[in-house]
């Protein structure tokens, strides 16, 4: 059964903000369907005794003093990579 | 002296004034130029010779440049470095110049190592062949019609071709180990958290680790000694071993387990060197039991290919065409800036992984895929835990095949399957190493060793024992 239709690819692309072409949508639908078909076999595993793992070393609550430290990098250097800036800010295109 | 020699010998020679850092770096830069057709390197570090000269001047002035004095190394291009671009081999980061440098690069430079170049990879580390690089694939050092493995294909080829003394790479699901196996060099992944990831382009944050690719286990131990340990800039880092990883002697009477799922799907000629190594280990007084962990079969791979794309989809949100990197000039509004920049900047594999990740995290599918995989991850950790109550290390293959032809794997899933023997250690955050132990059809095969968390000393000891017993010393015939 097809899990990932072209409509589903378009929904996922919209959620992840990638403007795919129609050709890409068609190709990806087939590929993603194959991948999801493969990973789906995980649902056969009995996990009733298992808690979810999100961190593997058991490290928790790593604290440091809440101190203000001067940055070694200037604002100008940090902004150098931005495509467009104005008065020390990053400039974006209009929202609406 | 040549770059193939042990790193400690090179550094000692530089420290003692017997050889200059400049001559080592010059050698490295010439090889890079001469063997450019393999496309291991994306960018040469223009300041490398200057740094080498400074190291030589320091030696003359009676200063000690450190344990890696004058040793040329290559960094995978997902480490932030100040004197080159940092692209992660992706179009979206093509224009990017890092404003700060990775902790690991700083630590290596503080001990006198000299960054000579940045190496190619599958874009963002997504792949097992380096064919997903947005700048074209790297070629295998043993046969330039074949892939070097991935994602650290550039670093592995660089070491196999002696372009530098060692390379530094990242290993999320096998990215140092698998290309090292396919390229006949030593690839290492430490315990999750042992090496700082500050200044490294994130792929899957609960998996990403950093380790060297070298020509011998002793070199791996020496580089690990320099880079391991807590970093205030990376809160996920853990304490390192108190003693040196490089000074541990050869282990006697190790208890090992040969894991069926880590070799049985490979063709007999690929399994052969592993079984031969096991015979030698037994003859040398180590015990090797045969064990089976069925969950490590395709289930572990399925688990990995749910969790990792989920984390990728989240980590790759930051590439928005606004703060840095590629920004589509034709975008008319903010929405188009996102849509067009991400469409143009991400390659096919990054898109696949972002979309799969978004799928398994989206409402309605989260429990069935993502949460289920997190629970299976727990079961895998528990299964490994039971084995490590009895064994010092696990033995298997690193990869199910030898290096395959460029362009031979056309569907994405067939490339994912190349990861099947490396992802188990990644799911459980375990240290693992691949070392060359033989050839099939003239192409190298890697033996993989896996140890329990923070047991790098035992892992490297046993690896050194295997290295000595097998004494693999065949070199690729390189065509300039």
Structure tokens at B309: 């794309």
Q: Nearest by CB to A56, from B232, B336, B428: name it.
A: B428
Q: Nearest by CB to A54, from B206, B324, B336: name it.
A: B206
pLDDT number for residue B42: 98
Nearest residue to B441 (alpha-carbon basis) of B274, B270, B186, B264:
B270
Question: What is the number of CB-based contacts under 8 A between chain A and chain B?
Answer: 172
Q: What is the mean pLDDT of residues B73-86?
A: 98
From A2's Cα to the closest Cα of chain B, the distance in A is 14
| B321-346 pLDDT, tens digit each | 999 999 999 999 999 999 999 999 99
Has residue A1 got a pLDDT over 90? no
CA distance B206 to B229: 17
* A51 neighbourhood in chain B, CB within 8 Å: 375, 378
* B80 neighbourhood in chain A, CB within 8 Å: none
Indicate the length of chain B as a whole number: 480
CB B155 within 8 A of CB B404: no
Does B369 sit within 8 Å of A94, measured CB to CB? no
Mean pLDDT, chain B, integer: 97
DSSP per-residue string spanning A26-92: HHHHHHHHHHHHHHGGGGGS--TT-PPPS-SS--------------SS-HHHHHTTSS-EETTEE--
Q: What is the mean pLDDT of residues B74-99?
A: 98
Mutating which of B337, B364, B375 best tests the A interface, going by the most A Cβ atoms within 10 A?
A: B375
pLDDT number for residue B247: 76
Check residues B406 and B411 and name the one with the higher pLDDT.
B406
List domains and CATH numbers for chain A: 6-44 (1.10.20)
Phi, psi angles (nearest 5°) of residue B463: -60, -40
Question: Domain coordinates of chain B in residue numbers?
Answer: 7-253
| B203-218 pLDDT, tens digit each | 999 999 999 999 999 9
Q: Does a cis peptide bond (omega within 30 degrees of 0) precede residue B179?
A: no
Distance spanning both ends of chain B, measured CA to CA: 21
Structure tokens at B198: 């500050």
From B332's Cα to the closest Cα of chain A, the distance in A is 7
Find the residue in B nearest to A77 (Cα): B99
Find the residue in B nearest to A75 (Cα): B99
Q: Any idea of the CA torsion for B135, B139, B140, B142, to the nearest 10 degrees?
A: -160
**Residue percentage of chain B with pLDDT more than 70:** 99
Q: What is the ipTM of this complex?
A: 0.96
Q: Which residues of B are catalytic?
A: 76, 151, 175
Does A43 sit within 8 Å of B372, measured CB to CB? yes
| B250-302 pLDDT, tens digit each | 788 999 999 999 999 999 999 999 999 999 999 999 999 999 999 998 999 99
| B165-179 pLDDT, tens digit each | 999 999 999 999 999
Dihedral sign computed on CA atoms, order B207, B211, B216, B222: negative
Q: Is A25 on the interface with B (CB under 8 A)?
A: no
- Domain at B7-253: CATH architecture: Alpha-Beta Complex (3.90)
* B427 neighbourhood in chain A, CB within 8 Å: 56
Q: Is A84 on the interface with B (CB under 8 A)?
A: yes
From A39's Cα to the closest Cα of chain B, the distance in A is 4
Which A positions 41-80 lie with beta carbon below 8 A of chain B? 41-43, 45, 47, 50-57, 59, 62, 64, 72-73, 77-78, 80
CA distance B247 to B242: 12
pLDDT band for position A81 (cuts 50, 70, 90) = very high
DSSP per-residue string spanning B158-207: HHHTTSSSEEEEEESSSTTHHHHHHHTSEEEE-STTSB--TTB--S-TTT
Does B298 sit within 8 Å of A45, measured CB to CB? no
Find the residue in A nearest to B319 (Cα): A17
Q: Any idea of the CA torsion for A27, A34, B428, B199, to the nearest 10 degrees?
A: 0
Q: What is the mean pLDDT of residues B300-311?
A: 98
pLDDT number for residue B248: 66
Nearest residue to A56 (alpha-carbon basis) of B27, B361, B192:
B192
Nearest residue to B198 (alpha-carbon basis) of B80, B314, B51, B351:
B80
* A9 neighbourhood in chain B, CB within 8 Å: 355
Long-range contacts formed by B357-361: CB under 8 A, 24+ apart: B357/B308, B357/B309, B357/B310, B357/B311, B357/B312, B357/B313, B357/B314, B358/A12, B358/A15, B358/A16, B358/B313, B359/A4, B359/A8, B359/A12, B359/A32, B359/A36, B360/A39, B360/B306, B360/B309, B360/B310, B361/B310, B361/B313, B361/B314
Does A90 sit within 8 Å of B322, measured CB to CB? yes
Find the residue in A nearest to B417 (Cα): A38
Q: Distances in Å between the alpha carbon of B466 and those of B53, B72, B252, B446, B449?
A: 38, 27, 12, 12, 10
Which 8-state DSSP code applies to residue A9? H
* Residue A37 burial by Cβ neighbours in a 10 Å radius (0-12, 13-18, 19+): middle
Q: What is the mean pLDDT of residues B364-379?
A: 97
Does A18 sit within 8 Å of B343, measured CB to CB? yes
Has residue B246 got a pLDDT over 90? no
pLDDT number for residue A2: 76
Q: Nearest by CB to A80, from B97, B317, B332: name it.
A: B97
pLDDT band for position B186 (cuts 50, 70, 90) = very high
């Amino acid at each position: 059964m097809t899990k990932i239709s072209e409509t589903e690819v378009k929904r996922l692309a919209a959620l992840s903000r990638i403007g795919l072409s129609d050709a890409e949508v068609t190709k990806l639908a087939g590929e993603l369907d194959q991948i999801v078909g493969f990973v789906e076999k995980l649902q056969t595993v009995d996990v009733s005794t298992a808690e979810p793992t999100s961190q593997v070393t058991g490290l928790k609550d790593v604290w440091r003093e809440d101190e203000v430290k001067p940055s070694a990098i200037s604002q100008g250097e940090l902004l150098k990579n931005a495509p467009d800036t104005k008065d020390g800010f990053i400039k974006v295109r209009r929202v609406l | 002296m040549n770059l193939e020699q042990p790193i400690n010998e090179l550094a000692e020679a530089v420290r003692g004034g017997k050889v200059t850092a400049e001559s080592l770096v010059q050698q490295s830069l010439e090889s890079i130029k001469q063997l450019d057709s393999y496309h291991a390197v994306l960018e040469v570090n223009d300041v490398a010779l200057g740094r080498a000269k400074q190291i030589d001047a320091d030696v003359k002035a009676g200063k000690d440049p450190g344990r890696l004095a004058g040793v040329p190394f290559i960094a995978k291009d997902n480490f932030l470095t100040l004197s080159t671009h940092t692209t992660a081999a992706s179009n979206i980061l093509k224009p990017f110049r890092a404003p700060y440098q990775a902790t690991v690069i700083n630590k290596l430079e503080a001990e006198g190592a000299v960054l000579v170049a940045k190496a190619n990879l599958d874009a963002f580390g997504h792949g097992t062949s380096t064919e997903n690089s947005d700048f074209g694939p790297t070629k295998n050092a043993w046969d330039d019609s074949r892939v070097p493995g991935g994602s650290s294909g550039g670093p592995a080829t660089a070491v196999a071709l002696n372009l530098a003394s060692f390379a530094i790479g990242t290993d999320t699901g096998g990215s140092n180990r698998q290309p090292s196996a396919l390229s006949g060099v030593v690839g290492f992944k430490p315990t999750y958290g042992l090496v700082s990831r500050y200044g490294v382009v994130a792929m899957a944050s609960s998996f990403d680790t950093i380790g060297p690719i070298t020509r011998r286990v002793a070199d791996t131990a020496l580089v690990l000694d320099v880079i391991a340990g807590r970093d205030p800039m990376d809160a996920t880092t853990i304490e390192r071993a108190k003693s040196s990883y490089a000074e541990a002697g050869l282990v006697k009477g190790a208890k090992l387990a040969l894991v069926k799922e880590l070799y049985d799907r490979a063709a007999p000629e690929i399994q052969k060197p592993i079984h031969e190594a096991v015979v030698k280990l037994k003859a040398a007084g180590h015990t090797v039991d045969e064990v089976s962990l069925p969950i490590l079969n395709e289930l572990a791979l399925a688990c990995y290919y749910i969790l990792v794309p989920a984390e990728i989809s989240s980590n790759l949100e930051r590439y928005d065409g606004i703060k840095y990197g590629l920004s589509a000039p034709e975008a008319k509004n903010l929405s188009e800036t996102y849509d067009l920049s991400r469409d143009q900047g991400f390659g096919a594999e990054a898109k696949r992984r972002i979309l799969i990740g978004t799928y398994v995290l989206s409402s309605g599918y989260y429990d069935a895929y993502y949460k289920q995989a997190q629970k299976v991850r727990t079961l895998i950790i528990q299964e490994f835990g039971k084995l490590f109550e009895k064994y010092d290390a696990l033995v298997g293959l690193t990869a199910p095949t030898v290096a395959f032809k460029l362009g031979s794997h056309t569907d994405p899933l067939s490339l994912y399957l190349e990861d099947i023997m490396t992802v188990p250690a990644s799911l459980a955050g375990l240290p693992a190493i691949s070392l060359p132990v033989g050839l099939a059809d003239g192409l190298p095969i890697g033996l993989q060793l896996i140890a329990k968390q923070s047991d790098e000393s035992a892992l490297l000891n046993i690896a050194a024992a295997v290295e000595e017993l097998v004494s693999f010393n065949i070199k690729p015939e390189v065509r300039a």
